[in-house]
Structure 1
Amino acid sequence: MKRLLLERISDDGVQTLGRLFVLDNDDMSEWDCDTLELPWKRNLQNVSCIPPGTYTVKKRTSAKFKNHFHITGVEGRAYILIHAGNYYTEIRGCVMVGMGLKEKNGDGRMDLHDSRTALGKLLKQCPDEFELEIINGFAIKN
């Protein structure tokens, strides 16, 4: 069964950058993109990324985010999504995806670009329900 692996690369206390890999049945990467999340703040609602772990993800549609993904089973949290967006200021605990990182808005922080493209590719590659594993890379200290 296809699954995703999100490896968090850096957390500067303001935002967390990472890579999201679509893995095949042999755990080989078929495709990857960049991610942007909030920093780790003890899993607090609306201000923190979610803890590392393995979660079930389901495709979902809403008026605000259109087609996206819902990460389920996050203890103490609800409606953690994978959706399009560019800046850490647009996140309330979710995971945003993009085709690359660059500073766009003059705040000196890396932002996502081509986010809708990345989300569209992810939606095409993933089944209606699948597993997501989140790990902290060696540079993450929490």
Structure 2
Amino acid sequence: MRLVRYKENEIGTWGELEYEDFKCYTFEPVGEETTLRGRDRRIPKGRYNMRWHNSPRFKKRLPHLYNDEVPIDRYILIHSGNYADDTEGCVLLGKEVCDNGVLKSKIAMSEFINRLKEIDIAKEEFEIVNDFRNDK
């Protein structure tokens, strides 16, 4: 799985997520990547492990990203949402992009979760790459 971040500005960070024949858009918080907990900032580019997390907030199992630098208890989840206020440091999925986030997020999440149910996500690598096409 690969997330390529392609745009950032004062609102947030947009990207494209690809896994085999699945494709969608992503939206994350605005820049200054950090590994620290409790910050509404995106995580650094790199390779991540994935596991399932039973989210009390969302009342469902969601993909959870972590690695040696970004601790598991930072709870970087992939979930539905549309705008910067929805991210809280996490990765939002959408079928369309707009000027201030992503749209049709629940559809994208449903499709993504259905794909993940077919595999052992603990064996998958989730890679995040920065390929910004703008200079803020």
Superposition TM-score, scaled by structure 1 size? 0.79
Q: Partners in 2 of 1:42 and 1:35 — Cα distance?
A: 16
Q: 2:112 aligns with which of 114, 119, 122?
A: 122
Aligned residues between the structures = 127
Query: What is the percent sequence identity of the aligned residues?
Result: 29
The correspondence of residues 1-142 of structure 1 with structure 2, limited to 5 A, is: 4-23=1-20, 30-43=21-34, 44=36, 45-65=38-58, 66-73=60-67, 75-77=69-71, 78-102=74-98, 109-126=99-116, 127=119, 128-129=121-122, 130-139=124-133
Q: Partners in 2 of 1:134 and 1:62 — Cα distance?
A: 23
Q: Partners in 1 of 2:33 and 2:125 — Cα distance?
A: 23
Q: Partners in 2 of 1:19 and 1:52 — Cα distance?
A: 14
- Greater fraction helix: 2
Unaligned runs of 5+ in 1: 24-29, 103-108
Partner residue of 1:106? none
* Mean Cα deviation higher: 9-18 or 63-72: 63-72
CA contact (8 A) 1:50 1:74 kept: no
Superposition TM-score, scaled by structure 2 size? 0.82
CA contact (8 A) 2:46 2:128 kept: yes
Unaligned runs of 5+ in 2: none
Q: Secondary structure in 2 aligned to 1:7?
A: strand
